[in-house]
Amino acid sequence: METIMLTLVLSLAFSAAAPAAADAPAPTTATAKPTRPKKICRSDVNTGSRLKGRTCKTQEQWDAQPQDVGNDVRMNGGAGTR
C-alpha cells in the first residue's frame, strides 16, 4: 500500500512540473545583430613616400567626401577658382 501511495505522489509531482516546463517561452531571434554597412577600401597616393596607404569607408562616407581637390586652400595656396 505504501508503494502505491509513493508512486501516486511521485506521479502527481512529475505531472505538475511538466506543464510548467512546457510553458517556458521559446528563444527568439530578435537578438540578431543588425547588419553593418560594407566598407570600401581605396589605395592612397602618397607622393614622396614608399609606404602604401589605404583608407576604408562606407559608401555613404565616400559620397559625403568632396572629390574636387582643386578648391582646397592647402593645394593651390589659397587662390581658389572663380
Q: Kindly tell me the burial class for residue 62, based on how many C-beta atoms sit within 10 Å of its own C-beta (0-12, 13-18, 19 or more).
A: middle
Name the one residue in this structure whose C-alpha cell is 501511495.
5
According to DSSP, the β-strands at 39-44 and 53-58 are antiparallel
Q: What is the pLDDT of residue 19?
A: 52
Q: What is the pLDDT of residue 60?
A: 92
Residue-wise pLDDT for 9-62, tens only, equals 777 776 765 555 455 566 666 677 888 889 999 988 777 888 888 899 999 999
Q: Residue 81 — pLDDT band, cuts 50, 70, 90?
A: low
Q: What does pTM read for this prediction?
A: 0.39
Please state the rounded mean pLDDT for residues 53-78.
76
Q: What is the pLDDT of residue 35?
A: 87
